[in-house]
Structure 1
Amino acid sequence: MAIIYNLDMRCYEILEQLLYTDEYVSVAQIADEKGLSKRSVYYDIQKINEWLEAQKLPLLEIERKKGIFIAKDQKEQIRRNLKEIPPKLAYTFLPTERVRIIICSVLQRSRQLHIDDFIEMCQVSRNTTIRDLKEATKELAKFQLKLFYENGKGYRIRGDLITKRSVFFLFFNSLADLYKKGALILPEEEKAEDIFGRLKKLEEELHAQYVTGILYSIAAFFSTIKNHSETVEFSENEEQEIKNTKEFQLVLKYFPEFEESEKLYLALHLLGSRTQSLSSDFMQRDTGQEVLRLAKVLVRSFSRIACVTFEKEEELIQAVSAHLKTSLYRYRYGVQLGNPMLDDIKNEYGDLFEITRNAAKSLEKEIGVPIPDGEIAYITLHFGAYISSGERKEEQKLKVLVVCPNGLSTANMIRKEIYTLVPSIQTVDIISLSDYEEDHDYNVVISTIVIENEENLIIVHPILSDSDRISILKKCMKYENQNVMNVMQITALAKKYMTESKLKEFKEELIEYFSDASLKAYTKQNEYGKSICQALDLRHIQIIRESMDWKEAVWAAARSLLEEGYIGQSYIEHMIEKTIKYGPYMFITEEVALLHSEIEDGSYMLGISCTVLKKPVVFKTRDGGERRAKIMLVLSAQDQVSHIKLLNDIMTIFKEDKNTEKLWKCEKTEAVEIMIKELMQGEE
């Protein structure tokens, strides 16, 4: 009966995907989700069917033009049998995973590690392992760490202790699921389980909620702490500050066997890993005010760079402030949470991510340390959740609950997307997994993890994919909204002309059609607008060779947009008034000015103009200094979203001074247009 256990991890995940959807799932959809070929998916389905056959369960059937659908009673049977599968499933590690396994294993150092140990861990050849070791050396060099081999002691990593620990948590977070599923084994598994159990009790006593997976990572790290000879050193003030927290008192209670410095380090991790803000006894009043000030700096920097006005600016500042309370300590002490959503956020919200990264430079300047991309990604979600793309109607009684263990910023972004996808939704509420109760009145429950016995559940990625959006649309269409009324009306008419079986198929295709139509409308609405190559044409490019004062230059730069109805005269007047009031606020580099004002000041359409000033225009600063503009751009927007991509392109072009010079030296408007296209192609 060995065949009973022939499900590998990939088959297991495909089967779970099928179990938690109420619709047909096509082979192409599975292939796209898992990054596989269709041939591989067919092979995996064959293996799943072998397992189902051994379990005496109905096999999966692929219906032509539809895909796979599992009936409700069949799902319950499969779920029961899945629980009996041993946790250790066959798994083939990716090259990046093998490199991270090597690095984390050496950093843990539960014993001497040699090349044969890595061969056994990763189940690859000696030559492949040698290549992986070279890649690990390159990866560590990015953090000023060095992997080396010492005779009689095995592989070791040399460098700053805080950095080494930071790298461990960064990489281990991405491997944690492999350990949990049994594809990898912790060197001190029983000890790690004991520490994890104590950490969960500590979490409960604190009434706190920690970032998903972080307690498991902490348990794995501290399970081998006795093998480490180095310890983190704290100043007297830092030590006292940590000791004054409730976290430290609970560490004393639950981990009395730890050395003093490791108790402090553990408390520090607990302080920096919450999804909520820190406890008030940790943040003194003046420090709290400082964090609030930094949040304002960041939000207003984003607002200035992105040319947006947040309707709920104070609420956003409070949300960012709560995030910074924990993250500032992470930056300072190298506490690394990692962000498993980083690549997804870059892919889905690339333009927003880049603008957030630009805005974060103002924060980096204030605090004196760089902010890692993983943190930029979290902050991106905060900004994305508060950018409004228009009015939302709340006419229907469709209620949705988002249960998200990945933090409020992720949940808020999911909520924003749901409102955009299904404008008729009355309520989208957010709760943590610990607050979820089976007895609720929500029509749809959306979560990034499985919730047992939840009939209305949709499993989604932390960053919604297109298939997630389709699932949400289809589920919501079963409740009262405009599209469902259309489906009901059309099927009522069609009933006269077709059999019951045909009518059922017809209704399913109608729902599919309306879902696809809604998704296309959503995609069009949710895009962050045109690129600079699409938005800027020859009519809005000019080269001015004569001298003029700054007010004349503003009128000249905006004239083409005014004449074609992109903006009104009041928009230009407001730009001039703001410059008089605040000084030359619009400079994005030493010699490039990006002129804009609020939408309500007279901006009607998305547009951009580019003016090359052969005789740079002088702007007086409020302190009596001067700024000279060689290039003036005028931006007009129609909403808070559609100009984001255009802005990101502008930042990309002018981040290097040499690009400003290239454009300034152009003698014809056609040359300016061609140069901008070439600069953007170079970036791609």
Structure 2
Amino acid sequence: MLSNILATIFSQPDWQNVRNEVHKMIQPEAATWSHKTDQRRLVREILYEAEKELGLTLTDEMVEILSLQILMIMKRIELEEYILVPEAEKQVLQQTEAYKAALHITNKLGNVKEVSFPDDEVCFITMNLLGSKVQHDNFNRYTEQELSGLKEVVQQMIDDFQLYSCVVFDDKNGLEENLISHIKPTYYRLKYGLSIANDLADSIQKTYQDIFHLTKRVMRHLERYVGKIVPDEEVAYITLHFGGWLTKEKKKVETKFKALIVCENGIGTSNMLRTQLENLIAGLNVITTISMREYRTNEYEADVIFSTNYIKEKDIPVIHLPAILTNLEKERVIQRMNELFDSKPPEKNVTDHLMDVIKRHATIHQEDDLKKELVHLLEQTTPRIKEIRKPMLNELLTEQTIQLKDRVSSWEEAIRVASQPLIDLQSIRPDYVDAMVTNVKELGPYIVIAPNIAIPHARPEKGVEQLGMSFLRLKEPVHFSEKEKHRAQLVIVLAAIDNQTHLKALAQLTELLSNEDNVEQLISASDRKTVIELINQTIEV
């Protein structure tokens, strides 16, 4: 309960008064939360030492939360009110690196403040350290036993994400290491009932709806491992990892600008912002992401700094921006980059041109308000920087791409027959069909994603000319192996052009096929119209 309350308080930038009141309850001698008492300063310094013990860097937000928790624990011990941790759980916690760091914290505080921390309280601090959001993590310090289970979970999640999204990550090992950085504290937060308040969760779900939907599906591996449901706030952070990696692998450009990102929301948010910026600005190379504390205490070489919080400029120009960029914010970033690095004078944007026209023909009484409304109108109607358009399922599965047949002679013929409409439409070349068949021969029946459903696909460079999808219904099932679970009556060929454009249609297809009644109706359909009606019903829901 305490962790949940503190996480919520510190995630709300407007709750400064609440933070002040909480702090005064613990340390009445401090006027506000920003007033650094000797005791609070000591706790923070010891936490920084514990970071070195753990080989990681906590986010600035987590340092504040942990400082407050430790001060409250000391107050509770003073009142002789203690927490009890089950003996079996204590034995597990005592085997972790975080327990050593918690001992360092309590021993140091005990020596300075003459307070004795019972082992249950040390274990309680260990729980909170294990569940803390981090900026950087060093996996060399963890035992193989600590990481092996989570590594397997992450590998299964990545495998399923590739299967459901029909993409193949080029740097799968890099994604695995990146994802473990967030999965490890997520696991401990779930295990010990700790909470994070992700104020970006709603925005992530709306902006990256397709990727969030796919991520939520693969979370079953973590849920099975920890024995608890993963809340949407945690799913949203993991969505950032997958989304960032999907975008990262799309482009390779010549480096023109070296950049830093200062972000206190942790690795996932930093990576998503990084990929948005590198995709937006040609030649941008984000050399590292750091916390505000690291920015203040160290010197860095870069051409520009992007920060999600206000920081005072030193020698390097700073561009302030949110963690998720709207089209208007992307335009502002580009304008600022042009001002900083383009020798040509910046051109007026559409809003300024409109204001000039209005001034020539009318008297403006509230110029700033009018300009804001024009900016909002242009953002809604004609965004300057368009997002990738992702077609709907009913745009890909049409009368031309749907086939209903009774039987075929083999699984190989099923793939070739199902692919023919896409060849006729010149969406794919025959090479792509050969590649799909070869994949099954070499990798096995991985394309059978559920009973009676197969989704053959291959990499875009194997022969895709344009995005496409085709549907084949068979009355008699075709077998992709001798096992009963590898038979299929619905064969849906996917021809993707990149890692993202097909995700909306694929998410809608998943929604359609996750309902067993829909699957039965598709198998028993007597005409294409029935299939199209089912697709449209799914999209409208």
Q: Distance in 2 between matches of 1:475 and 1:442?
A: 16
SS at match of 2:403: strand
Residue 474 of structure 1: how far off its partner (Å):
1.0
Q: What is aligned with 1:536? A: 397
1:590 aligns to what? 451
Aligned match of 2:204: 345
Contact residue 608 and residue 634 of structure 1 kept, 8 A:
yes
In the TM superposition, what is the alpha-carbon distance from 1:423 to its structure 2 partner? 1.4
1:202 alignment partner AA: I
Pairwise CA distance, 1:450: 0.9
1:456-495 matches, cutoff 5 A = 456-480=317-341, 484=344, 487=347
Q: Does 1:237 align with 2:237?
A: no
Deviation at 1:364, TM superposition (A): 3.0
Cα separation, partners in 2 of 1:203 and 1:628, compared to 1, 3 Å: same
- Classify 1:285/1:433 alpha carbon distance in 2 versus 1 (closer, same or farther; 3 Å): same
- 3-state secondary structure, aligned to 2:319: strand
Aligned equivalents of 1:619, 1:600: Cα separation in 2 = 25
Which of 191, 216, 239 is the equivalent residue of 1:332? 191
Relative to 1, partners in 2 of residues 1:617 and 1:180: Cα closer, same or farther, differing over 3 Å?
Answer: farther
**Shift of residue 542, structure 1, vs aligned partner:** 1.6
Task: Confirm or deny that 1:392 pairs with 2:252.
Answer: yes
Shift in Å, 1:374: 2.1
Return the alpha-carbon distance in structure 2 between the equivalents of residues 361 and 272 of structure 1: 20
TM-superposed CA distance for 1:280, in Å, is 6.1
What's the offset of the Cα at 1:677?
0.8
Q: Relative contact order, CA 8 A, sep 6+: which one is greater?
A: 2
Once residues 286 and 543 of structure 1 are traced to their aligned partners in structure 2, the CA distance between those partners, rounded to angstroms, is 52
Instruction: Indicate which of 456, 462, 481 corresponds to 1:620.
Output: 481
- The offset of 1:643, in angstroms, is 1.3
Q: Name the residue aligned to 1:54.
A: none
CA shift digits 1:211-269 (9 cap, x unpaired):
34234334555555538676332415224225852233223322644443222111221
SS in 2 for 1:534: helix
**What are the residue-to-residue correspondences of 1:446-595 with 2, within 5 Å?**
446-453=306-313, 456-480=317-341, 484=344, 487=347, 520=383, 522-525=385-388, 527=389, 529-546=390-407, 548-595=409-456
- Are the equivalent residues in 2 in contact too, given 1:252–1:263 (CA < 8 A)? no
> Which residue in the other structure is 1:666 paired with?
525
Deviation at 1:464, TM superposition (A): 2.1
Contact 2:243 2:272 in 1 (8 A): yes
1:349-360, aligned counterparts within 5 Å? 349-360=208-219
1:250 aligns with 2:105: yes
Tell me if 1:275 matches 2:134: yes
Distance in 2 between residues matched to 1:405 and 1:166, nearest whole Å: 18
Are the counterparts in 2 of residues 536 and 608 from structure 1 also a CA contact under 8 Å?
A: yes
Q: Which residue of 2 aligns with 1:190?
A: 27
Return 5+ residue gaps in structure 1 as ranges: 1-163, 489-507
Q: Deviation digits for residues 299-344 of structure 1, max 9, x if unmatched?
A: 2221222111222222111111233333322222223233222112
1:642 paired with 2:501, answer yes
Mapped to 1, the partners of 2:197 and 2:535 lie a distance apart of: 36
Task: Please list every run of 5 or more consecutive structure 2 residues that lacks an aligned counterpart in the other structure.
Answer: 349-370
Aligned mate of 1:200, from 26, 39, 44: 44
* Aligned match of 1:317: 176
Given that residues 259 and 302 in structure 2 are in contact (C-alpha distance below 8 angstroms), is that contact kept between their aligned partners in structure 1? Answer: yes
State whether residues 562 and 568 of structure 1, in contact with CA within 8 Å, keep that contact through their aligned partners in structure 2.
yes
Q: Secondary structure at the match of 2:400?
A: helix
Identity of aligned residues (%): 23
In structure 1, how many angstroms separate the alpha carbons of the residues matched to 2:85 and 2:95? 15
CA deviation map 1:96-129 (0-9, x unaligned):
xxxxxxxxxxxxxxxxxxxxxxxxxxxxxxxxxx
Aligned to 1:214: 62
For 1:232, give the aligned amino acid: V
Cα distance between partner residues in 1 of 2:140 and 2:271: 27
Q: Residues 637 and 322 of structure 1: is their aligned pair in 2 closer, same or farther, counting only changes over 3 Å?
A: same
Aligned equivalents of 2:285 and 2:181: distance in 1?
27
Tell me how far apart the structure 1 counterparts of residues 167 and 160 of structure 2 sit (CA, whole Å).
Answer: 10
Deviation at 1:676, TM superposition (A): 0.6
CA distance in 1 between partners of 2:412 and 2:225 (Å):
33
User: Under a length normalisation based on structure 1, what TM-score does the superposition of the two structures give?
Assistant: 0.64
Bigger Rg, structure 1 or 2: 1
Please report how far the alpha carbon of residue 538 of structure 1 lies from its aligned counterpart in structure 2 after TM superposition: 1.7
Q: What is the number of residues matched between the two proteins?
A: 489
What is the root-mean-square deviation of aligned Cα atoms in Å?
Answer: 3.4
